[in-house]
Structure 1
Amino acid sequence: MIAVESTGERRSTMRLSAAACAVLTALALGTSPAGADPGLIGEPGLDDPYFPMDGNGGYDVTHYDLTIDYTPETYALRGTARIDAAATQPLAQFNLDYRGPEVLMVTVNGHPAGFRRDGDRELVVTPLLPLPPGLPMRIIVDYAGPTADTAGAGWTHAPSGGAFALGQPHSASTWYPLNDTPLDKATFTLRASVPAGWEVMSTGDRTAHEVREDHLHTVWETRQPVIGYLTTIAVDHFTFLEQRTAGGLPVLSAFAPGSADNREDEQRLPEILDFLENLYGPYPFDVAGGIYVDTEIPFSLETQTRPVYAPWAELNTVVHELAHQWWGDTMSVRQWSDICLNECFASYTADYLWLERVHGADVDTKYRDTIEKNRDDQDFWDIPLADPGAENMFTSVYYRGPLFLHALRKLLGENVFFTAVRDFVNAHRNGHASMPEFREFLQSRTSLPLGEFLAEWLDATTAPREDFLYPGTLRR
């Protein structure tokens, strides 16, 4: 900024740098800055070994504030995403992950920004002027259009004419632009409007719920940081169940028209949360509940504070998804190869600990029977727990993960095992953890050498040796 004087009046003029001129040219053309230094362009992916194009470099998001208007009769979605972030490098261009309806306008810090779609997953944004590192960014994206039905891989149309957003590891980008990586957790606000007669459910605390001018307006606040795939919106003719835990935690659950049979299981949610707190420490969020849809999808999902359940969900499913509020939600994976931290623990909790502590089941016998049935079945062991591969993320962690944790428990002993896992998950609240960190932490809690045991259970593609299959009181 250079100040000059002319005929007694003070005027100001701006002299643009060559870099700024390049950005302005790109803005006008909707292209990348010509000849821009690569150091000014945020990476379009963060090189996760399973999904290398997930997430984006150059900035860190702190909060999403979404305003959504959905018309079920026409499947039309109109949205405004306000994304509060900070640049982590000099930034002349950056990407958002987005697969939703047409983008109408993008602004960065109040100024119009260039934008273009790159393939079916990336929204490339060119700010008016390069952003210095550390500068707060407010990105606003307006978008509108008909929604595509992903059939459980994101925005999904329900039989009633309603809709919901669900999927792992990718779903959020089908209904709002974001930095879609586990590494960039942020708080989340949803302001949703639907025609009167419909209801909206989401994650977090419902802070507004009123009908104005023939539309229902709701506001949902997720106050603890969350990953994109753990957010959701669900629109249907819901009925509700309101409860509280013994400690006073508010519990709000919703049931689509065809899911009334699930109500009995959901009434046990306060009991389940008390059970989980005894295992893993205080519940990590300020509300709880569940959303029951009536669409035939092949999975339920641990959306933060309020899991989404398919019609086939049973009590075991509820325990599993609520265990994820610790293992997967407040403590999230660093990369998707760490998926055992999510699914091994949720499966062990529902399939072993709940049966043992609530129903008095002999889980040692359950373990031995499972080992004897499968120890010579090579297919049972050929997907390693510590790195199952992108195509096998949701396989061995469910059926072999609980066996690993039960064997580990018997090797370490009750007190060491349960104290260690409780301390580990609580040390990573609102953050991330990895399988290598978990292994190192376990070794810090015992004088027993764990290297070979962990390697054979987590890394190998054959059954562990006899002593590792039957440690401690499992020894035959």
Structure 2
Amino acid sequence: MRHRLIVPSAAAAFLMLAVPASAADATPGAPGAGDAYYPTSGNGGYDVSHYDLRLKYEPKSDKLDGTATLTATTTQALSRFNLDFALKVSEVLVNGRPTPFAKTGAHELEITPASPLEEGKEITVVVRYSDTPSQVKIDGYSAWQRTPDGAVVANEPESAVWWFPSNDHPRDKATYDISVSVPDGLQTVSNGELKSQTSKLGWTRYNWRATKPQASYLTTLAVGKFDITTDKTADGLPVLNAYSKDLGDNLASAKASVGRTTEIIDWESKVFGPYPFNAIGGYVPNVKTGYALETQTRPYYSPSGFANGANASLVVHELAHQWFGDSVSVKNWRDIWVNEGFATYAQWLWSEKEGEGTAQQLADYVYNGVPADNEFWKVKPSDPGANNQFHSAVYNRGAVALQALRNKVGDKTFFALLKDWTEQNRFGNGSVEDFAKFAEKVSGKPLQKLFDTWLNTASKPSAAAAARDGIGKATAGASGKSLKAAEPRSWKKIQEAQRAHRH
């Protein structure tokens, strides 16, 4: 067969050359960030640098109206991209132009610009929406909690999809402006600093600003009636704590605990290095959940955390997360130990400081007190699995690993290592493997066997292995009460919530 050579006209050749390479190469962004535990969380093809959320919330109807403006930079030539979002959307604009969109799956907002987006370009995305968040269920679950006088949203690993569109994975952090209008007489609590509030026509608008990189799941909002107190840390950082006015018998113990935020942050800053953010505090809404959460700059505490009296150890845990989990976040959710093992060990250090049992005694208590056939030892803190992400082993066996490391390298190197880790990875992400390599580099010692023993093996370490790492000594001075204080969350309840809304 003869083939005919077709030579394009000069005009056609010009048009071919004029098409940007990025347009020809444009492909859809991935609908997930590639996290094995949560495949549909996060997205590919862009990085968000800032979220501007302008919201209006009416508690009586639970209606939330919002306009979210995202500033992002494309990381590939995009023919289409996704945001994670579950509420009803009325309009999307990309770079000021109305843009077709579709809802796919449980929480995917698929956006198709009229023209492909070039790689490396800054884009502005506006999403307008309106819905009743508590009625939006994913596998029967909503992270949006209604309260007697308002609402609260705070959950891990996902909560943003119920109130703003985002790239919902800790690897894509951004800064935030959160402006919320609520009926007069109500207040809002969110991340960062309260910059202003104004009232008009029966509504009060509160403007919050978080100026440091923040993961989407660490972004929180509460609406209701609060007693609010303010203070400053030793370094002059503003402290704002808020307590629902209807906490009943738990109010006094909540204030006796969260009210120590300034003291605890000042102490943790000496142990872990300079506090990484520009504000701090905490809030206790009137909710029935059984967990606390390290929402950035303003941790969330359920009243049940104070049902048995003051619980400063719980506050120590959530504030330690400001370094371990918030500033230095997980690379993937399997790396949860770099959050929870360290925050739990902070509680052990607090116990040591307060004379209520040393970290060594608590580590020994864990090792000696949990039988070898207990499920506790079958969970690997380095990769617990999505169903066991918040298992007690991640917290307590994870903290034992840190005590073993402290024994191996000595106090001077160990505490220098903690500060160096938080400083060198500030506002970034880290994995279990990253920390193990970092510890070897800083200490100059081979440590893989130690990490394999306490983090990577699904069985109780032998007595010989424990003794080698200085674990399993006498437990005088440690108590079951001290150990219980080192378990700040009801992990079973967290797991149930996880199973209910995983997609």
Q: Which of 407, 424, 427 in structure 1 is aligned with 2:424?
A: 427
Which gives a bigger RCO, structure 1 or 2 (Cα 8 Å, sep 6+)?
2
RMSD, aligned α-carbons: 2.1
1:157-184: per-residue Cα shift (whole Å, max 9, x none)? 11x1300111101001110111001111
Q: Distance in 1 between matches of 2:24 and 2:106?
A: 26
Q: Note the 1:5-404 alignment, pairs <5 A.
A: 39-100=26-87, 102-148=88-134, 153-158=142-147, 160-259=148-247, 260-261=251-252, 262-313=254-305, 314-350=311-347, 352-359=348-355, 361-395=357-391, 396-404=393-401
| Correspondence 1:409 to 2:397 | no
Q: Distance in 2 between matches of 1:41 and 1:451?
A: 40
Is the partner of 1:70 in helix, strand or coil?
strand
1:290-328: per-residue Cα shift (whole Å, max 9, x none)? 111111102110000000110022322111100000000
Q: Distance in 2 between matches of 1:244 and 1:472?
A: 41
CA contact (8 A) 2:26 2:117 kept: no
| Correspondence 1:438 to 2:427 | no
Q: Distance in 1 between matches of 2:357 and 2:371?
A: 22
1:334-393: per-residue Cα shift (whole Å, max 9, x none)? 10011000000001111x100001235344333223211225234221010110011110
Q: Distance in 2 between matches of 1:317 and 1:176?
A: 29
Q: Which amino acid aligns with 1:205?
A: E
Q: Which amino acid aligns with 2:316?
A: V
Q: Distance in 2 between matches of 1:210 and 1:239?
A: 19
Q: Distance in 2 between matches of 1:466 and 1:144?
A: 59
Q: Which amino acid aligns with 2:313?
A: N
Q: Which amino acid aligns with 2:165?
A: P
Return the offset for 1:156.
1.2
1:71-129: per-residue Cα shift (whole Å, max 9, x none)? 011111100000001111111211000012x1000000010100010022100001121
Q: Distance in 1 between matches of 2:470 and 2:330?
A: 32
Is the partner of 2:375 in helix, strand or coil?
helix
Q: Work out the percentage of aligned pairs sharing the same amino acid.
A: 37
Q: Which amino acid aligns with 1:316?
A: S
Q: Which amino acid aligns with 1:208?
A: S
Q: Distance in 2 between matches of 1:426 and 1:241?
A: 30
Q: Distance in 1 between matches of 2:281 and 2:141?
A: 21
Return the offset for 1:37.
7.6
Aligned residues: 443
Q: Which amino acid aligns with 2:375?
A: D
Cα pair distance change 1:378/1:186, threshold 3 Å: same
Q: Distance in 1 between matches of 2:449 and 2:56?
A: 55
Name the residue aligned to 2:491.
Answer: none
Is the partner of 1:49 in helix, strand or coil?
coil
1:227-274: per-residue Cα shift (whole Å, max 9, x none)? 000001100011101111122111001111233221121221111001
Cα pair distance change 1:153/1:341, threshold 3 Å: farther
Is the partner of 1:312 in helix, strand or coil?
helix
Q: Distance in 2 between matches of 1:16 and 1:136?
A: 26
CA contact (8 A) 2:186 2:225 kept: yes
TM-score normalised to structure 2 length:
0.84
| Structure 2 residues without counterparts, runs of 5 or longer | 1-13, 306-310, 474-503
Return the offset for 1:287.
0.6
Q: Which amino acid aligns with 2:163?
A: W
Q: Distance in 2 between matches of 1:271 and 1:454?
A: 33
Q: Distance in 2 between matches of 1:438 and 1:375?
A: 28
Q: Which amino acid aligns with 1:140?
A: V
Return the offset for 1:58.
1.1
Return the offset for 1:446.
2.6
Q: Distance in 1 between matches of 2:472 and 2:257?
A: 36
